[in-house]
Structure 1
Amino acid sequence: MPVESEWSLSTPQNIAFEGPVTALDVRAVNGTVNVVGADGGPARLELTGIDGPPLKVAHQGGRLTVGYDDMAQKSRLGWFSRKSWNRSADVTLTVPAEASVTVTVVGAGTVVSGIAGSTKVQGVSGDTTLVGLTGDVRTETVSGRVEAQGLGGDVRCNAVSGDLTVVECTGGRIKADSVSGNVVIDLSPTAPGTDLAVTSVSGEVAVRLPATADATVEAGTTVGPVSCAFGELRVQDQFGARNITGRLGSGHGRIKVTTLSGAVALLRGPDADDWTDAPAGAPARGKVL
């Protein structure tokens, strides 16, 4: 029979959950949410601080839910438009690495690490940090920053004014959309292929590619500057628009970057052999327009 348990937490405490946890759903306001994937042992919750109404926890049929009653009754649009929540919680959740994770936050900082299942994080103003996730990742933010390292699956990011930084990405497709936030993408030379699409209105976009990149490139901005560290690519100024086009290697992958007024930079990274020795912020060398 499935395990069905519920808690109402108004003070700091720890809970170890009996039975499997295959999915985690967290809905939080202010404070911090820390989700850690573990290879063994029971799923656990550690509540180190709470202010405001009690935090409700439910474990039913492999699904672990952490949040508030009034958030469960409202649409996500209603959560985001509410001006004052008057609550905060600091919670750490340890779940099996293969579990799927969904986190929806208003003002809370979120850290997710070591998850092999799918991860989805939606936020308004809280910053998001993602580390060592091998499953597919989706993030949506209004003004919070998103910083990610070592992602191994497909990545989909949407932001309004929050900056997005993804480094050492070894997975498949990456798609990022931003209005005014800056976007920085760093692709590992150990990635099996390149399929990258970035769109922005006024945010700057910088993409660092391995020296052995194999992709067709199409990048441009309407009024912003562009720079390119690859001599085999063409940098053109045509009717005011600036474009970087061409093919790297055999052109099997795809890189497409589009922005209206932001700057675009294509940076050259190290080869796979000296990847660990190169600084993440290595400057571009090449043509600038």
Structure 2
Amino acid sequence: MTEWSVSEPTKLTLTDPVTRLQVRIVNGTVNVVGTDEGSARLEVSSVEGPPLIVTQEGSTLTVSYEDLHWKGFLKWFDRKGHRRRAVVSVAVPAGTDVEVGVIGAGAVISGVKGRTDVRGVTGDTTLVGLAGPVRAETISGCLEAQSVTGALRVNSVTGDVTVIEGAGASVKAETISGDMVIDLDAADLDGPPADIRLTSVSGEVAIRLPHPADARVEANTTSGSVSNAFDDLRVDGQWGAKSITGTLGAGRGTLRATTVSGSIALLRRPEAADDGGFDAAPSTSGKVL
């Protein structure tokens, strides 16, 4: 095992192979990018408080503090009261499995094809162009995923969840009071059918489906409003519980959305040649209750 104690700006080039990356920091920023290079590069451009401990054991590269571990990460408390802040950038081979934990810090992960696991307390997380399975947990930080093709699992308490140009076959997201905006791109006809499952207590849920859409739809809210831009779907309920159900296209995929008091909106994604941007309003044929 090789170990470095980093208490000032530092650049490291790892000559041994890296297939697993673990980064855990408090305050600051983590940037991870997958590359076509065979080696990994690490840059710590700023560090305050206790030094970061960088270790490489076998093909696993870890950047963290001595007292900050992955187990119980979301419940961690700095008993010593240190002021901590670090800015860490890591370039790894695209196939690397990545684990990132941030407390009060932002995280940006892009171009990774291996498994990605992110845990955050208050920092925002941005995921771009990830091809492997993704699991993300956040307490109050917002999460944005763009062009993620791997299976996406998100759990949030109060943080908002935004998926842009989602092309993965599986998206499962749960929030307590965080809002969800899910923009789905056209699925690959030769790939597995889409499986979209969204659950919230009081957060609002907006889903924009590709044109033409191909899914069995079941969306329910106990006391919120519903908006539907598809004539092929049925809206039931005038007072209290409301639902949107039906089949779009051949119904290969599945879309299920459930809220208690939040509203649900199903929007129609314009055709590629006439894409007016994400904020395009539902068609005038949409029903709102």
Q: Deviations over 1:60-94 (max 9, x none)?
A: 11000000001139732541586955201001000
- The 2-side partners of 1:256 and 1:270 are apart by 21
Aligned to 2:17: 20
Query: Which amino acid letter does the alignment assign opposite residue 207 of structure 1?
Result: I
Q: Deviations over 1:184-226 (max 9, x none)?
A: 1111014443210000000000000012111110001111110
Could you say if the C-alpha distance between residues 72 and 232 of structure 1 is closer, same or farther in structure 2, counting changes exceeding 3 Å? closer
Aligned to 1:274: 273
From 146, 149, 164, the counterpart of 1:149: 146
Aligned to 2:184: 187
Query: Which amino acid letter does the alignment assign opposite residue 144 of structure 1?
Result: G
Query: Which amino acid letter does the alignment assign opposite residue 199 of structure 1?
Result: T
Could you say if the C-alpha distance between residues 141 and 83 of structure 1 is closer, same or farther in structure 2, counting changes exceeding 3 Å? farther
Aligned to 2:114: 117
Segments of 5+ residues of structure 2 without an aligned counterpart are none
Matches for 1:124-203 after TM superposition, within 5 Å: 124-191=121-188, 192=191, 193-203=193-203
Could you say if the C-alpha distance between residues 73 and 175 of structure 1 is closer, same or farther in structure 2, counting changes exceeding 3 Å? closer
- The 2-side partners of 1:84 and 1:265 are apart by 45
Contact in 2 for aligned 1:80/1:106 (Cα 8 Å) = no
Matches for 1:1-289 after TM superposition, within 5 Å: 4-72=1-69, 75-79=72-76, 84-191=81-188, 192=191, 193-237=193-237, 240-271=240-271, 273-274=272-273, 277-285=275-283, 286-289=286-289
- The 2-side partners of 1:24 and 1:137 are apart by 14
TM-score normalized by structure 2? 0.94
Moved runs in structure 1, 4+ residues, more than 3 A? Answer: 72-75, 80-85
Contact in 1 for aligned 2:70/2:101 (Cα 8 Å) = no
Segments of 5+ residues of structure 1 without an aligned counterpart are none
Contact in 2 for aligned 1:197/1:257 (Cα 8 Å) = yes
Q: Deviations over 1:11-60 (max 9, x none)?
A: 00100001110000111100000001010142011111110000000011
Could you say if the C-alpha distance between residues 20 and 258 of structure 1 is closer, same or farther in structure 2, counting changes exceeding 3 Å? same
Percent of residue pairs bearing the same amino acid type: 54
Count of residues in correspondence between the two structures: 284
Query: Which amino acid letter does the alignment assign opposite residue 47 of structure 1?
Result: V
CA RMSD of superposed structures (Å): 1.7
Contact in 2 for aligned 1:100/1:118 (Cα 8 Å) = yes
- Partner secondary structure for residue 105 of structure 1: strand
TM-score normalized by structure 1? 0.94
Could you say if the C-alpha distance between residues 148 and 77 of structure 1 is closer, same or farther in structure 2, counting changes exceeding 3 Å? closer
Q: Deviations over 1:135-154 (max 9, x none)?
A: 11110000000011000110
Q: How much has 1:243 moved relative to structure 2?
A: 0.6
